[in-house]
Structures are given as C-alpha cells and as structure tokens.
Amino acid sequence: MPLLASDVINLTSTDERTVVDLAGRGMAPLMALGRYRYLQAHDRLPPQRHRTLTVLALPTRGAFTFAVDGKPHHLGPGQVLYLPPGSTYVTGATAEPRGELTWLIARSPDGAPLQSLDRAVALLAATPEPVIRIAPQDATADLKRAFQLAANPRNWISDAQLQHMLATVVFSLAQSLTGPPEPADPVHRDIARTLAWIDTHLTEPIDATDLAAVSGLSTSRFYQAFGTVTGTSPKDYLLRRKTDYARDWLERDPNVCVTEIAHTLGFSSSQYFSTVFRRYQHTTPSAYRLQART
C-alpha cells in the first residue's frame, strides 16, 4: 500500500466516523478532533506520515495495534500514543479493527512558540520517537465532552468552551509526557495477567468463571475491571484474539483447512467461524488464505 505523505487532514465524517475541523473554527494549532466507532473491521488506511502534524491516539473501546516506522505498538483504553511529526504509521495489522478510537491532531508552530498552547504542542512534537503512556483520566473525559460540545449549535461561546477544553487536554498530555511514567494500577496487573493467560489457552474452552479465577478477582469485580482495562467484554476480546490466532495460522500455513481451524478454536461450525472472522478481520478465512498464498 503506497505511503500517504501529506499534512492534509481527512475531515470526512460518516455514520461511524466523526471529525471536527478545529482549524476551520479558528483553533489552530489544534487542527482536528476525530473518533471512529466500528462494529466490525474496516479496510485499513494507507500508511501516513506528516511533516508538521502531531497525532495523539486514545482508544476507548477495544485493543489497537499501530505499526509505527515498521514496529508494532499495542495500546488499549486508558492509554495514549504520541505520534510526532515524521513518524510513518498505520492502524491495524490487516484492517482497522472493531472498536472505538479517538484522535487529536495539532500542528507544530512556525518559529519560536509564543503562546502557552503553542509551547505545549511544540513539546509534544519534540518527542524523538512514538511513546505510549497512561492517559490522564481527566483528558479522556474531556475529549468525550468535547464531541458533545462540538455537536451543539455553534456560536462564539461554544467555540471558546471547546477550545479551552481541548487546550486543557493538550496541557494534561504534555505534562504526562514530561513526567515519569505512572505505575500500573494493581487491578491492571491482574487483568494483564489474565490477557496473557488467554493468549496461551485460545484452543481450550474458556468462560468468564475461568478468567475471573485467573485474575484473582470476584466475578463482578472482574467484569468491571476487564471493561475498564480493555474497553470491551471478555467474550468480545476472546473472539478477537481467536480470529487473530486464526489469521496468524493462515499466514504460517495457507494450506490448512478452515474447518480444522474452526474446530481447533472451539467454534460450532466453519460457517459461524467465517462470520466471526469477517467481523474482526474484514475478510473471510478463505479469502485471507488466498491472499497469504500470493
């Protein structure tokens, strides 16, 4: 897929994708605020690289993998990925995944930054390489409220409120970037251990009781913590990981029978497996196998 090297921002909104033109509202150096909510995987966009734009990506539902300068960066809800200018990046391993992702794009100031917001954006842009940090809770909440503000009828007061809210987010993220990484919450470690366990038991029957036992949490606390950390349910996460496993299997062995994969991963039929695979991988197992052979 050809590289898209441009500072032109795609401002197209759809039923599943919302983009707010911040520059068009006179809010530069804040350029665009975006969010997509996909119920199933979509075609992956071409790799992108920007000369003056910094991209801040924050998942709110589901896990995401960004390939940045050829290296995978995995992040989930509660985390933020800082992409400085000059980074070549693409979302998703083979498709833009099912889930919810928010992004904020800012332009580096020309010359010496004079205003506080310009200085914060310049600090973010000066990051020598992509960085993943724990996102400040207030920043995540403010971004959610920003979309609500942007949807209201426009006037100078609502625009000023939106700009103030997003500037506060930038200051919060800049402060998070300059300080030491926050220690992981103990509950996050419990869920992280559970996610690692899932990856080594994908071919076995797994239910929520098993996962709660691995985490060491009560069932109700486990569901709450799992949703906080991953942004989704155990069932949704497990199906996503099973299709990832199947995708990797098809890459390693394009001659493997789809029915064999389906039964190995515990699906009741190859037809149901194909339906689930398409939901998360944006193609069928048979089509992916043909692609792997070429």
Measured distance CA(107)–CA(85) in Å, rounded: 9
Domain shared by 174 and 192, yes or no: no
Q: Examine the pLDDT at 4 and tell me if it is beyond 90.
A: no
Nearest-angstrom CA–CA distance, 81 and 75:
8
Tell me, yes or no, whether 174 and 40 share the same domain.
yes
Task: Please tell me the predicted confidence (pLDDT) of residue 52.
Answer: 94
Domain count, the chain: 3
The CATH number of the domain where 17 resides is what?
2.60.120.280
Same-domain pairing of 174 and 291: no
Within this chain, do residues 202 and 221 fall inside the same structural domain, yes or no? yes
Are 93 and 45 in a shared domain? yes
pLDDT at 155: 92
Phi, psi at residue 27, to the nearest 5°? -105, 15
Indicate if the pLDDT at residue 76 is higher than 60: yes
1/277: higher pLDDT:
277
pLDDT digit string (tens) for 223-245? 998 988 888 899 999 999 999 99
CB count in 10 Å sphere of residue 111: 6
Encode pLDDT of 144-202 as tens digits. 999 999 999 999 999 999 999 999 999 999 998 887 766 555 657 888 889 999 999 99
**Residues of the chain with pLDDT > 90: what percent?**
60
Q: Are 90 and 58 contained in the same domain? A: yes
Identify the pLDDT of residue 187: 59
Calpha distance 17→172 (Å, rounded): 25
More confident site: 276 or 4: 276
CATH number of the domain within which 240 lies = 1.10.10.60
87 and 18 in one domain? yes
The most confident of 4-8, 42-46, 108-112, 223-227, by mean pLDDT: 223-227
**Cα–Cα distance measured from residue 22 to residue 56, given in angstroms and rounded to the nearest whole number:** 15
Q: Are residues 82 and 172 in the same domain?
A: yes
Query: Which pLDDT tens digit goes with each residue over 240-289?
Result: 999 999 999 998 998 899 999 999 999 999 999 999 999 999 899 999 88
Lowest-confidence segment of 49-58, 126-135, 167-176, 265-274 by average pLDDT:
126-135
Q: Examine the domain organization and report whether 46 and 162 are in the same domain.
A: yes
- 177 Cβ contact partners less than 8 Å away, ≥ 6 residues apart: 82, 123, 124, 127, 131, 133
For the chain, the average pLDDT equals 89
Task: Kindly state whether residues 119 and 63 are assigned to the same domain.
Answer: yes
Alpha carbons 91 and 89: distance in angstroms, whole number? 7
Find the mean pLDDT for residues 91-110. 88
Residues spanned by the domain of 267:
232-294
Distance of alpha carbon 4 from alpha carbon 189, whole angstroms: 38
Within this chain, do residues 240 and 99 fall inside the same structural domain, yes or no? no
Give the pLDDT of residue 113. 62
Residues 18, 151: one domain? Answer: yes
Alpha-carbon distance of 22 to 162, in angstroms, equals 9
Higher-pLDDT residue of 3 and 10 is 10
